[in-house]
Chain A
Amino acid sequence: MADIVIDRVVKEFGSFRALQEISLTVNDGEFVALLGPSGCGKTTLLRIIAGLEAQTSGRVVIGGRDVSDLAPRKRGLAMVFQNYAVFPHMTVFENVAFGLRMQKAPQAEVKRRVERAASLLHIESYLDRYPAKLSGGQRQRVAVARALAVEPAVLLMDEPLSNLDALLRLEMRTELKAVLREAGTTTIYVTHDQTEAMGLADRIAVMYGGKIDQIGSPLDIYATPATRFVGSFIGSPPMNFIKVRCSQGTARIGDAALPCPSAGTEMELGLRGEDAILSPSGSGIPFDVRVVEPMGSHLLLTGSIDGQLARIVAPPTAKVNAGQRVSLDVDPTRVTWIDSTTGRVVARD
């Protein structure tokens, strides 16, 4: 059992609060992605779990054992560093073997496991080279192989595929997922690439400004964001936010009226580009199209609703021209209501 419980962890650097009371539970064998913009505290949280940084307050429990005050090497985990930290004075083989050497594994075992990790990451032909002679992406794969070779119970990865080309990244992603699932490794995977997070993770924790805004399955996070930030960060094109006034449970946009929660008056309507349908009847939310981008699988329409920027996805065959005013049908159950002042999603009545 190697579940991870992060219990109200706070980290301050001087007067700057990098993490504000983070709580997160990762179940045994689960794959959780930490997703968030640059500087939101992902690396800091990972370093605290690893024990490389001391939290200001709070606890970290791994496999039922409070490891808050334990040295990193006693926490029984492996880590892929954001900047790789591949040892320059050792060959790729020795780098990958490092953890096994520290465990004093027999030579045959070291060789077997290094070769397995290397072939998984397609670095077997560089095993006797030095890292300085490798490209950034190759070095990054050495760092991942080094972590996989020890077959850890808990694996922390800080943007481990960020430096690979799109094709290789997709392939590595699939292989990583399969290997980690098979081994039952509890994984925390830091990324700011949402497709990577959606594709890999059992659950995604979306971080913003030192807090976890929302944690849930990829579908949950996509369909029912908890805050304005989550809505804007997940999904491509990002969710549209249209400021509206709510009175007596209805919001009016042009000719259309939508039922809205009675919690406030200054609200924002969160609308996913693919949740709006071009209305054949002409009655609905008016949308002034400014740019039409044919993307192959769909048309991306950029324009404005009630004077506010919006991006809508339309079928590839739709007949829409720039400069045209169209109207949109929206399923009221698929829109998200956000309190303008707090940025938090308000439950529908």
Chain B
Amino acid sequence: MPARTSWIPYALIAPSVVFLGALFLVPLVQTIWLSFSAGEGLSLDNYQRMAGDLNFSLAVKNTFLLTLVVVPLQVVLALGMATMVTKLDKGRDLVLWVLTIPLGISDLAAGLAWLALLQNTGYLNSALYALGLIQGPTGWLSQETPVALFIAIMLAELWRATAIVLVILIAGLQLIPKEFSEAAEIFGAKPWTRFTRITLPLLKPSLQSALILRTVLAFEVFAVVYALGGRNFPVLVGEAYVWQNDNQNYGVAASYAVLIMVISLAATAVYLRALRTRPEQLP
């Protein structure tokens, strides 16, 4: 029997292998190839041009700063929200539905929505003006107000992408039988102790998934930044876009793409290691 059926698994995964190969692996290899080819033969020219660019170090700094601020905040917010949602008896689906609405909005649309709020003649300024807090249209999103611009992008990112963390964590929380927390409570654990000693460790696999997903996406942040700040706040993907479209230099754009991929892979590796759950500790 096994001999006869052994080709079936391969046949079943063949379509996805072909699909991945055509749409992912080939472009990936091409991009890597492109990033190393300038003029004739292989060279690091593209990488040198990338690193030598005025905006490069700023883009690296901004991307990391945004990721390091946004992702932890999102996890903390999502943990709080998930804990509250799972405690709800009634209307839980409705609350969850409302909280996840931002997931259904494309990141560019989200960026534009926040632009409408925060631009010179936006709703925020109208409200502040009506309250007499500002004298007239005030810019928040220009190069002269980097802190305000950063906060605006951070808020938009929090609003837009916390829900994905929330959804993953709620799914994870629902997998933890409530007896564990109950037993801890019987044996004297206060709510915070139960959260740190029982819920968080048991939620580790979900936290790991959420962190990998969110961090990788955070390193790829672009549309929201572009809508709110244009090139006032350079980020890595934004620079790749500029080199590709404005400068028509595909080689340097490819170098950026490879750099982003390497950063993402490294972050994933760190999470896989730091948050691994030993098999014997699984419920």
Contact = CB atoms under 8 A, between A and B. Distances in A.
Interface in A69-105: 71-73, 77-79, 81, 83, 85, 87-89, 98-99, 102-103
A96 to B, nearest CB: 11
Contacts of A52: 182, 185-186
Given A87-B198, A89-B202, A102 B188 contact: yes
B281 A73 contact: no
B281 A79 contact: no
A146 interface: yes
Contact of B202 (A50, A72, A88, A103): A88
A102 B191 CA distance: 12
Interface string B178-212: 01101111111110010000100110000000000
A89 B203 CA distance: 11
A153 interface: no
Which of the listed residues B183, B184, B186, B278 has the most CB atoms from chain A within 10 Å of its own CB? B186
Contacts, number: 66
Contacts of A103: 188
Nearest to A86: B183
A73 B185 contact: yes
B193 A102 contact: yes
Main secondary structure of the interface of A (DSSP, over half): mixed
Interface string B147-191: 000000000000000000000000000000101101111111110
A281 B3 CA distance: 76
B283 interface: yes
A132 B280 contact: yes
Interface string A180-219: 0000000000000000000000000000000000000000
Interface residues of B, number: 23
A83 B182 CA distance: 12
Given A89-B201, A130-B280, A146 B187 contact: yes
A319 interface: no
Given A73-B188, A73-B190, A102-B188, A85 B183 contact: yes
A: interface residue count bin: 20 to 34
B98 interface: no
A99 B188 CA distance: 6
Contact of B189 (A81, A85, A102, A132): A102
A52 B179 CA distance: 10
Nearest to A75: B186
B282 A150 contact: no
Given A81-B179, A83-B179, A102-B193, A88 B282 contact: yes
A30 B186 CA distance: 21
Interface in A143-160: 146, 150
Contacts of B193: 102
Given A85-B177, A85-B180, A89-B201, A73 B186 contact: yes
B189 A133 contact: no
A326 B187 CA distance: 60
Interface string A116-145: 000000000000011011000000000000
A132 B282 contact: yes
A132 B187 contact: no
A83 B177 CA distance: 10
Interface in A5-45: none
In the A-B complex, list the 9 residue pairs whose CB atoms are closest, starting with the nearest: A102-B188, A85-B179, A99-B187, A85-B183, A130-B280, A88-B283, A89-B201, A89-B281, A73-B188
15 contacts: A52-B185, A52-B186, A71-B185, A73-B188, A78-B186, A83-B177, A87-B180, A87-B184, A87-B198, A89-B201, A89-B277, A98-B184, A98-B189, A99-B188, A130-B278
